[in-house]
Amino acid sequence: MKRIGIDVGGTNTDAVLVEENGVVASVKTPTTRDVIGGVREALRLLVERLGGNAGAVGAVMIGTTHFTNAVVQRRDLAQVAAIRIALPSGRSLPPFVDWPPELKELVAGRIYMVRGGHEYDGRPLDVFDVSAVTAAAREIRDTDIRTVAVTAAFSPLVSDCEAQAAEILRTEIPGVHVTLSHDLGRIGLLERENAALLNAALIPLADNTTRAFSDAVEGSGIEAPLFLTQNDGTVMRADRARAYPVYSFSSGPTNSMRGAAFLSELDDAMVVDVGGTTTDIGHLKAGFPREANRTVEVGGVRTLFRMPDLLSLGLGGGSLVDESRRMIGPRSVGHELETKATVFGGSGLTVSDLAVAAGLVSMGDSSRVEHVDPVTLSWFVERSRAMIEEGVDRMKATGDPLPLLAVGGGAFLVPDQLPGISEVIHVKHAPVANAVGAAIAQVSGEVDQVFSGISRAEALAEAEALARSRAVEGGADLETITAVEIEDLPLAYLPGEARRVRVRVVGDALAL
């Protein structure tokens, strides 16, 4: 199946056409402010490259940082109403409690806390106060607010209260959009609620953006379903992305790692992506980056998203080197390397300059760095090597030797031999690894739940079955689904051998 992957980056929008055996064509065009213009142009260039006809394309996958940027830059966000169903618990820590004040100001419309929710073992926490939800819905109806986030205690285990609240809201408020926290995830009420609130705030933007993406694909003459990539390296159908924009947060690094894996035909490997300002290091297992097992802040808001576990070092091709203090980075000339680096006639001493002087790479005018002190050079080579070596060792989640994939513009910094690494591979097409990662993305299903009173094997089986059905709902082809992550953690102070089980499965996107 032919697939088109598009990566909307901060600087460039890349598009690739990928087949089973590799990249057929790739193009690059500047990202436009409205995002859509760049996507349209990239598709036009790609079709042109293919001789005016892309042929039968199975799917178009777009990866974008548009929604993350909206949160970080505090723009295009809607006012939302928060309904939390957890009283009598949580009264002292209402919704938006730990948000940056200016973001709360922008997003917090109405806040309601009502009785209800559940316990960890499925018993009701309190009788659900349905009339309070109805009253809240009628109040919201009289405002301009049209997106609501609903969060109930232990809803990842029992979602009844949230579902019932959604029904009431939809009945009372015509045209309302409701985000339910259990659709976004995990145990951890504040973090899950934060995700639901951010999601609700992004709904109008997501609606416009996904619609415009669909129009752009249609306008290019390609007939294929549209998917958006998520932060865990999988995709969701555009209609689902419209309802869950937060799932596309930070999908870039994941796409880049997965793209590298595909291009190298390796599933288990370390990936080192040396960019202009940072080096991102991750561990690919079964073709996916390991997930971070901790809270992640987005625009200053604490959430629990499925983010790749990446180590970001302040070491890039543009990092500035302080000779006297023997320090590399974290300051960088960034994308201005080609004007500010010494080899390009600038006055800054960058990592690239020293790499040229040390003979690791050739670029610009090497005579401009001939004067560099050999002591500095040997210190630099040793230090950058040590940084990468330690980072790789830190992120490597197994003692066995693994291959390492070097990608990014500064990949020349990666030494040919590293301890615990069987082989260092410099990946072809590395500049478009991001778009390739988008093109090959699959559909996932995830479960993170507490099981008690059943055996470990039963709990794992039940979780996997549930994850599979979620993947199918998300557009996966049942035949191709496999489990990529099964993890369980026994829980202290809970009766009945309680354990928290996390299972993630993936399958190929079902074409039309």
Partner 1 sequence: MLHYLGYRYRRVMTDSHSKLRPISGEELEPLATGAWVLGAGGGGDPYHAFLNMRRLYQEGTVVSLMQPEALADDALVAVVSSMGAPLVGEERLTDPEIAALAVQQMETHLGRSFDAVMSVEIGGANSFQPLMVAAVMGLPVLDADTMGRAYPEAQHSSFAIGDLQPYPLTLADVRENAVVVSKVASWKWMERISRKVCTEVGSLAATCKAPRTGLEVKEWGVLHTVTQAIELGQAVIDARTSKEDPVGAVVDHAGGQLLFQGKVIDVSRRATEGFLRGTARVTGLEHDRDSELRVDFQNEFTVAWIDDEVAVTVPDLICVLDTTTGEAIGTEALRYGQRVSVVALPAPEVQRTPKGLEHVGPRAFGYSFDFHPLFI
| Beta carbon nearer to partner 1, 63 or 95 | 95
Nearest to 164 by CA among 110, 128, 120, 112: 128
Q: How far is the CB of 288 from partner 1 (least distance, A)?
A: 17
**Span from 241-249, 328-336, 396-404, 441-449 in contact with partner 1 (CB under 8 A):** 396-404
Residue located via tokens 């249609």: 218
d(CA 432, CA 14): 7
Does 89 interact with partner 1 (rule: CB under 8 A)?
A: yes
CA-based max dimension of the chain: 78
Does 90 interact with partner 1 (rule: CB under 8 A)?
A: yes
| Beta carbon nearer to partner 1, 187 or 486 | 187
Bridge partners, residue 438, by sequence: none
Among 137, 153, 257, 413, binds partner 1 (CB under 8 A): 153
d(CA 254, CA 353): 29
Nearest to 328 by CA among 406, 393, 383, 281: 383
How buried is 497 (Cβ within 10 angstroms: 0-12 exposed, 13-18 middle, 19+ buried)? middle
| Beta carbon nearer to partner 1, 151 or 209 | 151
Does 323 interact with partner 1 (rule: CB under 8 A)?
A: no
Interaction mask 337-366, partner 1, x per CB under 8 A: ------------------------------
Does 499 interact with partner 1 (rule: CB under 8 A)?
A: yes
d(CA 189, CA 85): 11
d(CA 427, CA 430): 6
| Beta carbon nearer to partner 1, 429 or 499 | 499
Q: How far is the CB of 485 from partner 1 (least distance, A)?
A: 14
d(CA 343, CA 349): 9
| 3-class SS string, 101-148 | HHHHHHHEEEEEEEECCECCCCCECCCCCHHHHHHHHHHHHCCCCCEE
Does 100 interact with partner 1 (rule: CB under 8 A)?
A: no
Residue located via tokens 């073709």: 287
Does 187 interact with partner 1 (rule: CB under 8 A)?
A: yes
Among 395, 425, 447, 510, binds partner 1 (CB under 8 A): 395
Q: How far is the CB of 172 from partner 1 (least distance, A)?
A: 27
| Beta carbon nearer to partner 1, 465 or 489 | 489
Nearest to 509 by CA among 444, 462, 454, 449: 444
Q: CB count, 10 Å around CB of 495?
A: 9
d(CA 489, CA 359): 49
**Span from 120-128, 318-326, 373-381, 411-419 in contact with partner 1 (CB under 8 A):** 120-128
Q: How far is the CB of 192 from partner 1 (least distance, A)?
A: 9
| Beta carbon nearer to partner 1, 113 or 430 | 113
| Beta carbon nearer to partner 1, 96 or 262 | 96
Does 432 interact with partner 1 (rule: CB under 8 A)?
A: no
Q: Interaction with partner 1 in 47-66: which residues (CB under 8 A)? A: none
Q: Interaction with partner 1 in 247-306: which residues (CB under 8 A)? A: 293-294
Does 119 interact with partner 1 (rule: CB under 8 A)?
A: yes
Q: Interaction with partner 1 in 206-245: which residues (CB under 8 A)? A: none
**Tokens read off for 436:** 């390739």
Does 491 interact with partner 1 (rule: CB under 8 A)?
A: yes
Phi/psi class of residue 334: alpha, beta or left (left: φ > 0; alpha: ψ in -120 to 50)? Answer: left
Does 86 interact with partner 1 (rule: CB under 8 A)?
A: yes
Are the C-beta atoms of residues 86 and 113 closer than 8 Å to each other?
Answer: yes
Q: How far is the CB of 376 from partner 1 (least distance, A)?
A: 22
Q: How far is the CB of 91 from partner 1 (least distance, A)?
A: 6
Residues that bind partner 1 (CB under 8 A): 86, 88-93, 97-98, 117, 119-121, 123, 125-126, 153-154, 187-190, 293-294, 393-399, 450, 489-495, 497-500
